[in-house]
Amino acid sequence: DTAVSQTPKYLVTQMGNDKSIKCEQNLGHDTMYWYKQDSKKFLKIMFSYNNKELIINETVPNRFSPKSPDKAHLNLHINSLELGDSAVYFCASSQEGGRMFFGSGTQLSVL
């Protein structure tokens, strides 16, 4: 009964490939997020959806496309992967301001 689950946990792929990361939350929250964590542990918000609607879209290359089929799911699709995309990607959800629940992360390695 994991609250926020994301798959896969590890993703190793070649430059130029297209990949997706899936996220699901069973908390009934309205808002979901994608964060990117670099090798120095710095966390940067990428996207936020509220009830399937995009509300935050930070300066992220348009190779990254989030998709929310329903409010319990927020998937991240990445086209034409580059070396600099290597990072840990975290999905999160929240209901009230600031109290966020995070998934365990997807470590993406682009070779």
Stretch that binds other proteins, among 13-21, 60-68, 72-80, 89-97 (CB under 8 A): 89-97
**Among 12-20, 38-46, 66-74, 75-83, the segment contacting other proteins (CB under 8 A):** 38-46
Q: Which of 33, 39, 105, 25 is nearest to 72 (CA)?
A: 25
The answer to whether residues 89 and 78 touch, using CB atoms and an 8 Å cutoff, is no
Rounded CA-CA distance 5/13 in Å is 21
Residues 6+ apart with CB under 8 A from 6: 21, 22, 23, 24, 89, 90, 91, 103, 104, 105, 106
Site for other proteins in 53-82 (CB under 8 A): 55-56
CB of 78 to other proteins, least distance (A): 19
In the set 13, 45, 52, 67, which binds other proteins (CB under 8 A)? 45
The residue within the footprint of other proteins, chosen from 7, 50, 57, 65 (CB under 8 A), is 50
Residues that bind other proteins (CB under 8 A): 4, 31, 40-43, 45, 48, 50, 55-56, 90, 92, 94, 97-105
